[in-house]
Amino acid sequence: MNDLLRQACLMWAPPLVWLILAAAMTPDEALGFDRISGRMDASRSEVIGRGGMVCAAQPLAAQIGIEILRKGGSAVDAAIAVNAALGLMEPVSCGIGGDLFAIVWDAKTQKLYGLNASGRSPYLLDIGEVTGQGNSAMSYTGMVPITVPGCVDGWFELHEKFGRLPMKDILEPAIRYAEEGFPVTEVIAHYWALGGKRLEKEPNFAATYLPGGRAPAKGEIFRNPDLARTYRALAKNGRDEFYRGRLAAVMDRFFAANGGYIRMRDLEDHSSTWVEPVGTDYRGYDVWELPPNGQGIAALQILNIMEGYDVASMGFGSAEYLHLLIEAKKLAFEDRARFYADPEFSDIPVGGLVSKEYAAARRKLIDPSRAATRIPPGDPLLESGETTYLVVADSERNFVSLIQSNYAGFGAGPVPDGLGFCMQNRGALFNLDPAHPNSLQPHKRPFHTIIPAMVTKDGMPVFAFGVMGGSMQPQGHVQVLCNIIDFGMGIQEAGDAPRIRHSGSSEPTGEVMTDGGSVTYEEGFDAAVIRDLIGRGHRILRDYGGYGGYQGIWWDRANDVLIGGSESRKDGCAIAY
């Protein structure tokens, strides 16, 4: 079928239209899948190295990570350096105005460590303040959705426990690029332009991110001297410069002058939390995520449900597999909407949610021939709720799985005077129902979407990975893992394989699934499969984005080599030495 015809189709086309369009496709239009070999076409070869490896969404940032490793830095040192560079080079997705989560494998102690470096709501903000302004939901721009940035504290917590090089050496490459400039890459330039149009009226945003009145185009040089000065202050004075010192004072004055809510007390009272990763066994592999307030355990819930089926025999891209994936996601996300929140404010039954017994009970709700339109959250108590991702491994086989975000498209928009970074809008995910576990309250962490992951086998790491992209992340984690474990794909192949995305589940913010939601898909699935899913009652839409961004490093312990993949949906790459 002609590509122009596809693009002319509206996303809201009814199922009958999609039946007609699917019928017009030929089997050859299942792009990228070889029915004879049963293999996907990868966009590039896997990267393999013996020393260290970095996978990130921007090549210059990935090279900085390798530079730090070659200087004797640890995996954590390199991860911080890469993240600092991405805050400059990919500001639409991340930066020190946002939050951070990480899972670290420490080779010395032979142990996994989890860090929740997410910030909390301002003391001055509550539900009455928001609804009193005539709002029925949290906004995505302006001052209301801004929460305390946790990224900087996360850097210094990681560095104190696992770092080797001084912070001035770690931040120096990003400072150099901020002062001298760097060429903007293609995908980032696209999202920069979209975000710029939405936020150009926010305080200091245009002056910082729209030089000459517009977003920089692909290949144009962008500089951020304000961010360079901020990084220098952090390198010299440490984390307290951000939360108690001059930078904190600048933020305090900025919010007070512009109708914001964050004050010095919010910054002074911020702290990160070291947490125990939560795991489940999936066909002999232990998959690890972080507990709420993040959504990582949703991936574990989906895997637990799918474990009861012979997924490998279904085959990649089959209607049976995709139907199961969608229905398992619906089940997990109804629990996500009901239970996932700040554990300091709610008693979250994490053990019950990720138990095999609970998965067995929920699995009974799946009809293999029909899509569910409404699903209640379960009762796990009876059985015992825009981003950048990077991954680093060093020569000693320490691994860092790190994800960091401003949330939606640059964040809320406001840029504190002279500091060179945008504030996150993570508070947009609060619920305004006072009875909900994720309700907005002062000094509370909101529900969070960003999730790093790690896989171990026989007590040792084998795979550190992540898939950025809002509620796509648990779905992406599961699809990548099934591609590798069930379908035998390689590390690059597993990320490049086409994905589906289910939307319309109930949300922690208060939205409720009423019609079963909808499913979008990428090129690469057979037309007959799409027709089959429609026949099972799935509402199929066609779009051209929103499937996340994957990076992953696999440790081949037999040969002691690292195998990296970085998918083609982003600008990034895997680099080894």
Q: How do beta strands 39-40 and 278-282 pair?
A: unpaired
- Give per-residue burial for 317-348: e unless 16+ CB within 10 Å, then b: bbbbbbbbbbbbbbbbbbbbbbbbbbbeebeb
Q: Residue 469 has what pLDDT?
A: 86
In which region does residue 47 sit, left (phi positive, over 0), alpha (psi from -120 to 50) or beta (all else)? beta
Q: Indicate if the pLDDT at residue 570 is higher than 60.
A: yes
pTM of the entire predicted model: 0.91
pLDDT in tens, 46-98: 999 999 999 999 999 999 999 999 999 999 999 999 999 999 999 999 999 99
pLDDT in tens, 187-210: 999 999 998 889 999 999 999 999
Per domain, the residue ranges of the chain are 52-274+388-429
Q: Provide the pLDDT confidence category of residue 408 given band limits of 50, 70 and 90.
A: confident
pLDDT in tens, 238-276: 999 999 999 999 999 999 999 999 999 999 999 999 999
- φ/ψ of residue 363, rounded to 5: -60, -30
387 counts as catalytic: yes
Q: In what order do the strands lie in the sheet with 540-542?
A: 500-503, 518-521, 540-542
d(CA 31, CA 25): 11
Q: Residue 332 has what pLDDT?
A: 95
Q: Provide the pLDDT confidence category of residue 32 given band limits of 50, 70 and 90.
A: low
d(CA 525, CA 511): 30
Q: Which of 208, 387, 388, 520 is catalytic?
A: 387
